[in-house]
Amino acid sequence: MNLNLRRGLPTRRDPGQKRIITMSALVTVGLMVIVCQLWYLQVLEGGRFQEASDKNRIRIRPIAAPRGILFDRNGAPLVDNRPAFTLSLIPRELDRDPDKRDAALGRLSALVQIPFQELRDVVAKTSSDSFLPVRLRRNLSMEEMQKVEEWKLELPGVIVEVEPQRVYPNSRFAAHLLGYVREASDDQLKQGRYRRGDMVGQSGLERLLDEFLRGKDGGERIEVDAMGRPMRLIQSTEPHPGAQVVTTIDRRIQEASEKAMEGHAGAVVVMDPRNGDVLAMVSTPAFEIDRFTGSIDRDAWLRVMKDPEFPMLNRTIQSQYAPGSIFKIVVAAAGLQEKTLTPADRTYCNGEFQLGTWTFKDWKREGHGTVDTLDAMRHSCNVFFYQAGLKIGGAAITKYAAAFGLGQATGIDLGTEKFGLIPQPKSRLRKAPAFQAGDIVNMSIGQGQVLVTPMQVARFMAAVANGGVLWKPRLVQRIERPERGVVWSDSGTVTGHVELNAAVWAFLRQSLWAVVNDGGTGAGARIPGLDIAGKTGTAQMIANSRADKGQDHAWFASFAPVKDPEVVVVVLVERGGKGGQVAAPIARKILNAIFFEKVASAELQG
């Protein structure tokens, strides 16, 4: 630059001029410093500021994918989604003045009944710079939503979002089977598969199939201005809903079974003996599945956890009971097949059986008189089976029990299954060569150490009904994705065979028919016009407990029709009393619903 500073005063060099040149040099240095700063900001750090500028203007708004739906075998939904209102907070849009912010939070606290301290904790936990909505409460009622909307202007940073949420036919419907869905817990978040606020299946099928049921969340990239107002949609990704699951459950039978169990603690399993399909799975008391979805307050949670009735327990697979007289079917099958027992064997039952110094009593104090094998099954005569058991021997009984799958996991997909227990010959003392006689006597009527789950009994009864095929209980038929069709399917798995002579099968069926239809202990399950076969059982909880005092577990295991069985119904009522008096009538209601209420129900639905 041609400054030509000396042009004006060619002859004199006054000190003022020098000073002015110095000052102009200083200003030039100042400008150079600014150029250096600009080089630093724009060229050296430009990329970083570019990112910061994008972060400023682009907001990502997630759109929750609806969770997959579970259907019953006929296409009726077991669980569905509905839009629900979620109350959320955008930390960045809250008032920056702490006093004003607290005033807004206080108002919100009063409107929706969330403790003020809880709201403050949420705010304290999140970065005040974040635009990502933080959920305060899911499933806001319509009334609460309206209140919040009315006060919207006084509540900066508070928004109501619409998100899909689980809805159930009723509050406890198939609670153990379906399982509940909740926000990912801190532990689950640590595994890294979930983001905060993700809904995750926590039990039952929801947990088992979570991978499939969880869809892929979509989202929108939005350009916003400094006030956070959306200006332009940059990119939008549609959410992909979760897969649809077709289960083996029959919603009608499930509902009928739950209704039949009302007021009782226990379990019901309804199974198709032809393929192992689980048509109904009921465990009572059930927890309120809809209250577990979303946020449940601590008190309610503790109440459920500390309930002496253990509503979280799935009694069909997680509780073990002595099978009681149901086990007589195994003993009879073992004896008849091993020829240590014949249908013609007779015993006089006077109500008790003497073994050394021990006295084993029949459930009927005065005894059954002279009974043959079929009578003993029909009337569930203990004395006959004490003697038969001793003749057959412990090893043969446990061998057949194991063959029928008792004391073994059924392999049902839900997991968390209990194994049950069939005592092995050497279980008591290592040196003892075989069972003690007393053990065998106890085992012959399904007491002592024998433990089974209702699901095992159902599989066992299905094998009796279908001639020896052990099916793995099937819960899920197939999983379909909207765009890809079937992604998983299960056509049923046979896990074992019980080989018995045709005559033995025929005898078992005949005797079990007689239990219900020929004046036996299962008469309470009898339905005219339907051939039901079944066996009662009364499992002693403690030695010398009294069934008539309601201290024993009541069993009834049945299948129908006897010719070409279609369903197996197993009922267990905890502390219900005698199987014939308590469990059999429940099974009757369920069977009645299955075979005779179909039309009426179809009309109601149609």
Partner 1 sequence: MTALGGIDRRLLQNVDWPLLGAMGGLVVLSATTLASLHIGRAGGNVALRQLAWFALGLLALLIVASIDYRRLVRLAPMFYVIGLAGLVTVFVLGRTVSGARRWILIGPMSVQPSEVFKICFVLMATWVLTSRWAQPIGKTTLALTAPVLAIPAVLIIKQPDLGTAILLVPVLTALLVGAGIRLQLLGGLALAGLAAMPVVWFAALREYQRERILVFLDPFRDPLGSAYNVIQAKIAIGSGQLLGKGVAGATQSRLAFLPERHTDFIFAVFAETWGFVGCLVLLTCYALLLLRGFDIAATAREPVGRLIALGVTALFATQVLVNVGMVTGLLPVVGVPLPLMSYGGTSMLVSLTALGLLLSVRMRQFQ
Interface residue list for partner 1 (CB under 8 A): 1, 3-9, 15-17, 19-21, 23-24, 27-28, 30-31, 33-35, 37-39, 41-43, 45-50, 52-53, 56-57, 96, 128-129, 223-227, 231
C-beta of 96: minimal distance to partner 1 in Å? 6
Give me the residues paired with residue 560 across strands. Answer: 567
CB 424 within 8 A of CB 442: no
* Helix 454-466 / helix 328-337 crossing angle, nearest 10 deg: 40
Residue 231 to residue 597: CA distance in whole angstroms: 59
Tell me how far, at minimum, the Cβ of 80 lies from partner 1, in Å. Answer: 41
Nearer to partner 1, 224 or 395 (CB): 224
Q: Which of 346, 330, 462, 301 is nearest to 402 (CA)?
A: 330
- The residue ranges of DSSP E strands in 290-419, in sequence order, are 346-349, 352-355, 358-361, 369-372
User: 110 or 234: whose CB is closer to partner 1?
Assistant: 234
Q: Which is nearer to partner 1, 128 or 489 (CB)?
A: 128
Task: For partner 1, give the closer residue by CB, 47 or 308.
Answer: 47
Minimum distance of partner 1 from residue 292's CB (angstroms): 39
Using only C-alpha atoms, the chain has a radius of gyration, in whole angstroms, of 36
Of 38 and 600, the one with the shorter C-beta distance to partner 1 is: 38
Query: Looking at beta carbons only, is 196 or 232 nearer to partner 1?
Result: 232
User: Reduced to 3 states, what is the DSSP secondary structure of residue 313?
Assistant: coil
In 3D space, the residue among 331, 329, 325, 343 whose CA is nearest the CA of residue 380 turns out to be 325
For the bound state, the minimum distance from the C-beta of residue 130 to partner 1, rounded and expressed in Å, comes to 12
Q: What one-character-per-residue DSSP string does 231-286 give?
A: EEEEEEEPPBPPPEEEES--HHHHHHHHHHTTT--EEEEEE-TTT-BEEEEEEESP
How many whole angstroms separate alpha carbon 529 and alpha carbon 531?
7
Q: Please report the DSSP string for 79-113 in residue order.
A: EEEEEEEEEEE-GGGS-SSHHHHHHHHHHHHHHHT
Count of alpha carbons within 13 Å of 110, Cβ hemisphere only?
7
* 288 vs 296: CA distance, rounded Å: 11
Cα–Cα distance, 496 to 409 (Å, whole number): 13
β partners of residue 358: 355
Shortest CB 123 distance to partner 1, Å: 14
Distances (CA, A) of 586 to 173, 222, 322, 517, 548: 18, 59, 20, 16, 18
User: Closest separation between CB of residue 131 and partner 1, Å?
Assistant: 12
Output the smallest distance, CB 145 to partner 1, in A. Answer: 29
Nearer to partner 1, 31 or 487 (CB): 31
Structure tokens that stand for 296 in this block: 């449940």
Nearest to partner 1 of 14, 143 (CB atom): 14
Longest pairwise C-alpha distance within the chain: 151
Q: Which H or E run contains 349? A: strand 346-349
Token pair of 253 as six digits: 């039978």
Cβ nearer to partner 1, comparing 3 with 153: 3
How crowded is residue 239: how many other Cβ atoms within 10 Å of its Cβ?
16
CB of 136 to partner 1, least distance (A): 22
Give the shortest CB-35-to-partner 1 separation in angstroms.
6
Closest alpha carbon to 493 in 465, 472, 468, 478: 472
Q: Is 402 helix (H, G, I), strand (E, B) or coil?
A: helix
C-alpha–C-alpha distance, residues 510 and 278, integer Å: 25
- In the complex with partner 1, the residue whose CB is nearer, 30 or 519, is 30
Cβ at position 24, least distance to partner 1 in Å: 4
Q: Closer CB to partner 1, residue 57 or residue 478?
A: 57
Which residue, 93 or 338, is less far from partner 1 as judged by CB? 93
For residue 78, give both structure tokens: 């077991």
Q: How far is the CB of 262 from partner 1 (least distance, A)?
A: 58
In the numeric block, the tokens 């299960």 are attached to 490
CA dihedral 64, 70, 76, 77 (to 10 degrees): -40
Q: Quote the least distance from Cβ 100 to partner 1, whole Å.
A: 14
Residue pair 490/478 in contact (Cβ under 8 Å)? The answer is: yes
Taking a C-beta distance cutoff of 8 angstroms, is the pair 369, 348 a contact? yes
Tokens representing residue 545 in the block: 């407990």
Looking at the Cβ atoms of 96 and 303, the one nearer to partner 1 is: 96
What minimum distance in Å lies between the beta carbon of 236 and partner 1? Answer: 19
Q: Which is nearer to partner 1, 230 or 415 (CB)?
A: 230
For the bound state, the minimum distance from the C-beta of residue 9 to partner 1, rounded and expressed in Å, comes to: 7
What sign does the CA torsion over 335, 341, 344, 346 have? negative
